Amino acid sequence: MPQGRFSRFSLLKKKDLATMYGMAERRHGLLFHLFDVVLNIVIILAVVGLIRTFLVSPFRVEGNSMTDTLEHQEYIIINKFAYYVGDPVRGDVVVFRPPNDRDKHYVKRIIGTPGDTVIIRSGKVYLKVAGTEDEVELTEPYLNERNSGHTYQHPPSSGNTREVSFEVPEGQYFLLGDNRQGSLDSRSFTPTSFVEAEEISGRVWFVALPISKIHALEPPEYGI
């Protein structure tokens, strides 16, 4: 074969090999890039899932049962971690699943803790704190003018001032909405008035939306 033709053939082969090598590199680079993107998405979703499961989670308020503390359609952030390291306490506003409908989540305020006796009489709430026999009236500064002094037995807007009491079992809680005349809560739950500790998802940490209403929820001072 003439020298010139051999040289041209060799040159073409080298160009083809270089082209194939370049294409292989690009494919490798593209596959590596796609793998990197997918891996990052998986890691992000895993982190978000862990955070939502064990630390904090968003929740949208539906209804007016917590007026004026929380309003309809507000977005709140729930602190779940708090109840991994401690127990719910009186005054906490919490998200939970009620005993009469485990498929739904409610938001209410803890009034009675394990061992307490909650007494509703003449529109007011009284407590016998666990381990005591003294009955004290619960001071509730978070109630608005319409609801202060107007806590009645079920139905909440009945105006029935007859006394009713609830002895809170161990490991369970008694909850009321801040809108006492418009809240379905422990006064009306069935088959039991109480919510088990494991059904409480977390404590309401702060209001996130709308932006104009961003604020943290401060625990009330009952002085009990």
Q: In a 3-state reduction of DSSP, which class is residue 166? A: strand
Question: Is the distance from CB of 124 to CB of 151 less than 8 angstroms?
Answer: yes
In angstroms, the CA 106 to CA 129 distance is: 25
pLDDT in tens, the chain (224 residues): 454 444 554 544 555 555 655 555 666 667 767 766 776 676 665 655 555 555 668 999 999 999 999 999 999 999 999 999 999 999 999 999 999 988 899 999 999 999 999 999 999 999 999 999 999 999 999 999 999 999 999 998 888 888 999 999 999 999 999 999 999 999 999 999 999 999 999 999 999 999 999 999 988 989 88
In angstroms, the CA 61 to CA 47 distance is: 25
CATH number assigned to the domain covering 57-216: 2.10.109.10
**Phi, psi values for residue 175, rounded to 5°:** -125, 145
Of the residues 80, 108, 183, 193, only one is catalytic, namely: 108
Q: Residue 209 has which token pair? A: 């939306």
Is 15 a known active-site residue? no
Supply the pTM of this predicted model.
0.78
Question: Is the distance from CB of 111 to CB of 180 less than 8 angstroms?
Answer: no
- Ordered by start, the domain boundaries in the chain are 1-54, 57-216
- CA 73 from centroid of its chain's CA atoms: 14
Q: Residue 8 has which token pair? A: 């041209």
Of the residues 65, 183, 186, 193, only one is catalytic, namely: 65
Is 108 a known active-site residue? yes
